[in-house]
């Protein structure tokens, strides 16, 4: 294979694998948060705060994957 093709394959793999886990994590956080709010509506503000923080940390992993893929793309 040509080096450029391998480079683009690596970029695709990094973005593909690096975004699957955060997507699953965000889905699970949202699902469990909605369940918790449904069971205890009085605690909604505390649950939402924790949910937003957890989603931000999960999304940071996807951003790291993006940064790695950009480094792979622009560094020889």
Q: Taking the domains of the chain in order of start, what are their residue ranges?
A: 3-74
Number of alpha carbons in the 13 Å side-chain half-sphere of residue 62: 14
| Residue 21 near residue 63, CB atoms below 8 Å | no
Query: What is the pLDDT confidence band of residue 75, given thresholds at 50, 70 and 90?
Result: confident
Q: Tell me the pLDDT tens digit for each residue of 10-48.
A: 999 999 999 999 999 999 999 999 999 999 999 999 999
Third-level CATH fold of 3-74: F1FO ATP Synthase (1.20.20)
**Reported pTM:** 0.78
């Amino acid at each position: 294979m040509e080096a450029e093709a391998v480079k683009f394959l690596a970029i695709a793999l990094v973005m593909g694998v690096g975004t699957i886990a955060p997507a699953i994590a965000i889905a699970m956080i949202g699902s469990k948060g909605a369940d918790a709010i449904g069971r205890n509506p009085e605690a909604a503000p505390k649950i939402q705060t924790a949910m937003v923080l957890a989603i931000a940390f999960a999304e940071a992993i996807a951003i790291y994957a993006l940064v790695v893929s950009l480094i792979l793309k622009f560094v020889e």
